[in-house]
Amino acid sequence: MNLVASLRIALRELRGGVRKFRILVVCLALGVASVTAIGLVQSGIEQSLEEQGATILGGDVEMEFTYRYANPREKMWMEENASRISEIVEFRSLAVAKKDGVTERALTQIKAVDNAYPLYGKLSLDGDMTLEEAFKPVNGIPGAVMHKSLVERLGLKAGSEFRLGFNTFMLNGVILQEPDETGGNFSLGPRTMVLLKDLENSGLIDEGTLFSSRYRMIIPENSDIDDLRADAETALGTTFSWRDKRNGAPGIQELVGRVGAFLTLVGLAGLVVGGIGISLTVSTYLETKTKVIATLKTLGADQLTIFFIYLFQVMVLIVIGIVFGLLIGILIPYLLESILSEFLPVPFNFQIHLSDLLEASFYGLLIGLIFSIWSLAKSCDIKPGALYRDAVINPWKIRVMPYGIVLAGLIILFVASASIFSGIPRLTLYISGGIAGTLVVLGLIAQASKYLSFQLGHSKMVRGKISLGLALRSIGETGNGVISLTLALGLGLSVLASIGQISNNLLRNITGDIPEIAPSFFVIDIQNQDIEQLREMVLAFPSVSKMESAPMLRGIITEINGLPSREISGDHWVLEGDRGITYSSGLPENTVVTEGSWWEEDYDGPPLVSFSEEEGKELGLQLGDYITLNVLGRDIEAEIVNFRSVDFSTVGLGFILSMNPSALAGAPHTHIATIYADPESEEELFDSITSTYPSITVISVSEGIANVARIISGLGSAIIYASSITLVLGFVVLLGASASSVAARVYESAILKVIGATRRTLMLSLTMRSIILGLSASFVAFFAGITGGWAVMKYVLQASYMIEPISGLMIVLGGAFMSLIASLFYFSQPLNTKPSTILYNRD
C-alpha cells in the first residue's frame, strides 16, 4: 500500500470535476445544517437565559413561601443580607366586569407587587406609561394593568372598572411585556397586575387561601450565592423554595434542553437519510470506475491502495459538504434571529458556539464514513478481468476483516456520541434502534418488491397491460436504485409519521378522552364556613350530577427518614416545590388502599400519612418510612402507613398526600371542589357561584384543556416543521436515485421504441413505476409510524393510543406523490431519446 500514490491518483481523478458527487454534498450539507441550526438556537436560548438570569428571575435571588408571607425572622434575615428587596404575591382569581350590560368573568393570574418592582429590567406598558402612573388611584379607585387578551375578553378600555374579589380597580394600562415573565410559573390565565396594598380586604389572600409570596433580592456583588443559601437554610430551615439568577427559569431551561435534544436526534435521523444518498452517490460513481480499478489492479495496485484512492476522494467531498452545512446552519438562525426572538417565549441571542459546530461536523464526518465504507469496500473486489467483460458488484458482499469491523465501530461510535451529547441516552438508544429496525424492514421490503415485481412483470396477470408490465419489470431488474429510493423515502416518512401519530394522540387524549370524564369546574379558595352552603347551592341545580370536595393545604417534602429528600430520591417531580395535602378521618369514598391500612376514624396519635402508590414507589418509599413536611412554615414528621391508588388522568380530586386530621389541627386552610354538570348549564352555574362568592375562584376545565391543547399543538407543529428536513433529504435522495437510473431508462426506452412502444405507453410506465415504489415505501412508513407512536404513548407517556388514519393516509399519498415528482425531473430523457443514437453508441 502506498498512501502517497493513492492521494496523488485521488486528486488527479477529482480534477475531472465533482458534479457526480452533487447529491453527496447536498445530502451531507443539509443534514449538517439542520443539526448546526438546532444546536445554535438551543445554545443561544440557554446563553440568553444565563446572561439575563437576574432579569428573568426578577432579582439576584428569590425566596418563595407557600400560602403565607415571610415571618418577621425571615424578613430580618433578608434585610441583613440584601441591599434591596421586592415583595410579590401571585395567585389565580376571576376578574369581573360589565360588557354591554352583561357581567363577564375571566380567569386571570394576579401579580400583586410593591413599589420596588421591578428590581431588574423594565415593565413595558402601552403609551410608555410608568408603573407609578398605572397604579395611581382615580377618584379613590386604585389602578391596575392587564394583558391585552384579558382586556379584549372583558371588553375593557382605559378608565373601565373591574372587580377582583370584593375590591374594585380601574384599568389604566395594557401590559406589553414583563421583564420576569419567562421566570414565572405556568399560568392558565392572562396577567393582571396591581399594587399589593390595594388587595387588602379583597378576600383573595386571606389566611389559608392559595397564594405564593416571593421575595426578590439584590445582593452585594461580592456575595457567594451558595454560601448565602446555606446560611439561609441554617438560620431558617427549609421552609422556603430558593431560586437564583444562575437558573432563573429552570422549567423553561429544562424544556429547551429536552426539545433541543429531541430535535437534534431528529436532525441525526435526517443525516441518516442523507447517508443513504451518500451511499448511492458513491456506489454510482464507483460503477463508472470499474475499468479504471481493473486497470490499476492489472498494473499491480493492491486492495488497500484502491480503497484509499477513493476514500481520499470521498473524504474531500465530505469536508466540502460539512463546510457548506456549517455555513447554512449558521445562516439560518442569523437570518431568522428577529423572527425567533418574537416567536419564542424566551430570550434568544444569536452567537456562534464552536462546540455546536464541532458536534455537527463530527456527526457529519461519521455519517459520511459509515455510508461510504460499504461501497468503497465493494470496489476492492473488482477483478482485472473486468477490463474484458461487464462486472457486477455484489452489493451485500463485504469483507468482515477489516472493513466490517471498521463499519461496526463507526456505527457504535455514532450511537454512543449521540447518547452522550443529547443528554437523553435512553431515548437516543430507542430512536437508534427504531431507525435501524426501520431500515432493515425497508431493505427487506425493497428486495421483496423487486422480486415480486419481476415475477408479476413476467406473469399472465399483466398480459395486455403493457405499461404496467413494463413498470413492474423495470422495478425488478438489477441495479436500478430501488433499494436506495425505498430506504430514503421510507425513513424520512417514518420519522414524520411517528411524530404525527404521537402529536395527534396527545391532543386526542387531552381534548377527546379527558373532557368525557373530567369535571366541569375546579373551585378553589372555598372558606371553611362556605363549603356546605356552596354544596347546597350547587346540588340544587338539576344539571349537576355531583360535587366532590376536600380540605386542602400545601406542603414541601423536606426530609425522608431524617435525611434531605433530594439526597434520597433525587429530582423527582414530587419533590419539586410544594404538593397538595388533604386530610380525612375515615377512608374516603372510592379510595383503594393497595398496601397497608387506613387509620381509625377517632385516631389522635402521632401524624400519619397515606401516600400515592405510583409516586411513592418511584421515590423508593416503603411502609414505616418517615417523611417531614413543611406546612405553612411548620415541620411535621409523619409515618407512611399505607399506599393508595390515585388516578390523575381523570382530572378529578387527587392528592399525593393525605393525613389524619389531628396532624394538621390548627393549620389554616381552605377547601377545593370539583363540580360535574351538563355542558349546556355550565355558564349559568359559573355565574351563580362567582356572583354569590366573589372571593372563590372557579376554573373552567374545558378552558384549561383548550389552553394546554394549544400549547401542545404549537409545540407539535414546531417539531413537525423542524423534522421536515428528513423529508427534504429523502426527496434529494430520490432525485439521486432517479438520476442514477436514468441511463438504464434511456436504453430501455430506446429498445421499447424500436419494437413499437408509444410515448404514452412509456409515460404511463414511468409514472406507474414511481407510484408503486412510493407506495411501497409509504406503507412501511405508515406502519413504522404506528409502531413508534404506540411505543412512545404506552411506555414513555403512559397514555392510551389509537391509530390516526388521516395522518397515516397523508403519509401514504405524500410518499407516492414525492416519488412521482422526483421522477418527473428525469422523464424527459427517456421519452425524448432517439433509438438509433442510443443503440449505436451502446454498441
pLDDT tens per residue across span 326-353: 999 899 888 877 776 666 666 667 788 8
- H-helix or E-strand spanning residue 84: strand 84-99
Q: What does the pLDDT read at residue 144?
A: 94
353 shares its domain with 495: yes
Single-letter code of the amino acid located at 524: I
CA distance 167 to 197: 12
The more confidently predicted of residues 86 and 399 is 86
pLDDT tens per residue across span 4-49: 777 787 777 777 666 777 888 888 888 898 889 888 888 887 777 7
Q: What does the pLDDT read at residue 11?
A: 78
24 shares its domain with 98: no
Within-domain flag for 660: yes
Mean pLDDT score across all residues of the chain: 81
Mean pLDDT of 48-59: 79
Q: What does the pLDDT read at residue 170?
A: 94
% of the chain surpassing 90 pLDDT: 20
A 10 A CB-CB count for 242 gives: 14
Given a contact cutoff of 8 angstroms between Cβ atoms, the answer to whether 387 and 291 are in contact is yes
CA distance 107 to 41: 34
The more confidently predicted of residues 730 and 186 is 730
Is the pLDDT reported for residue 146 higher than 70? yes
Q: DSSP string covering 806-824, please?
A: HHHHHHHHHHHHHHHHHHH
Within-domain flag for 54: no
Q: What does the pLDDT read at residue 377?
A: 80
Q: What does the pLDDT read at residue 104?
A: 85
pLDDT tens per residue across span 236-259: 887 788 888 877 666 666 666 667
38 shares its domain with 86: no
Is the pLDDT reported for residue 388 higher than 60? no
Within-domain flag for 696: no
Mean pLDDT of 470-484: 72
Within-domain flag for 55: no
The more confidently predicted of residues 339 and 771 is 771
User: How crowded is the C-beta side of 89, counted as CA atoms within 13 Å?
Assistant: 20
Q: What does the pLDDT read at residue 112?
A: 93
Is the pLDDT reported for residue 843 higher than 60? no
The more confidently predicted of residues 402 and 217 is 217
Is the pLDDT reported for residue 169 higher than 90? yes
309 shares its domain with 449: yes
Q: What does the pLDDT read at residue 399?
A: 56
Q: What does the pLDDT read at residue 44?
A: 80
Q: DSSP string covering 63-80, please?
A: EEEESSPPPHHHHHHHHH
Maximum distance among all Cα pairs of the chain, rounded to whole angstroms: 104
Mean pLDDT of 501-511: 73
How many residues are given for the chain? 843
Strand, coil or helix: what is 743? helix
Q: What does the pLDDT read at residue 651?
A: 65
Q: What is the pTM of this model?
A: 0.72
Domain-ending residue, one of 222, 237, 263 = 222
282 shares its domain with 318: yes
467 shares its domain with 585: no
Q: What does the pLDDT read at residue 249?
A: 64
Single-letter code of the amino acid located at 29: A
Within-domain flag for 784: yes
43 shares its domain with 164: no
Measured CA angle at 720 (ends 717, 721), to 5 deg: 85
Is the pLDDT reported for residue 206 higher than 80? no
Q: What does the pLDDT read at residue 383?
A: 65
Grid cell for residue 349: 441571542
277 shares its domain with 369: yes
Within-domain flag for 288: yes
A 10 A CB-CB count for 340 gives: 17
Q: What does the pLDDT read at residue 714?
A: 66
Within-domain flag for 658: yes
pLDDT tens per residue across span 552-608: 888 889 889 988 887 877 778 888 778 889 999 988 888 899 999 999 998 989 999
Range of the domain at 663: 544-677
Single-letter code of the amino acid located at 344: L
Q: What does the pLDDT read at residue 514?
A: 58
How many domains does the chain contain in total? 3
Domain-ending residue, one of 677, 695, 720 = 677
Q: Is residue 644 very low, low, confident or very high in pLDDT (cuts 50, 70, 90)?
A: very high
Mean pLDDT of 410-422: 88
Is the pLDDT reported for residue 390 higher than 60? no
Q: What does the pLDDT read at residue 50?
A: 74
Is the pLDDT reported for residue 627 higher than 70? yes
Nearest to 294 by CA among 375, 372, 380: 380
pLDDT tens per residue across span 107-122: 899 999 999 999 988 8
Q: What does the pLDDT read at residue 8?
A: 80
Q: Is residue 640 very low, low, confident or very high in pLDDT (cuts 50, 70, 90)?
A: very high
A 10 A CB-CB count for 676 gives: 18
Mean pLDDT of 141-169: 90
280 shares its domain with 175: no
SS3 assignment for 174-189: EEEECCCCCCCCCCCC
Mean pLDDT of 527-540: 90
Mean pLDDT of 540-547: 89
Q: Is 300 exposed, middle or buried (0-12, 13-18, 19+ CB in 10 A)?
A: exposed
Nearest to 656 by CA among 794, 527, 570, 555: 555
9 shares its domain with 127: no
291 shares its domain with 438: yes
A 10 A CB-CB count for 644 gives: 20
Strand, coil or helix: what is 423? coil
Alpha carbon of residue 139 to chain centroid? 50
311 shares its domain with 364: yes
Q: What does the pLDDT read at residue 333?
A: 84
CA distance 635 to 331: 55
- Cβ-Cβ contacts under 8 Å for 59 (sequence gap 6 or more): 86, 119, 120, 216, 217, 218, 245
Within-domain flag for 241: no
Q: What does the pLDDT read at residue 513?
A: 55
CA distance 783 to 498: 9
Nearest to 731 by CA among 619, 816, 819, 624: 819
Mean pLDDT of 355-367: 92
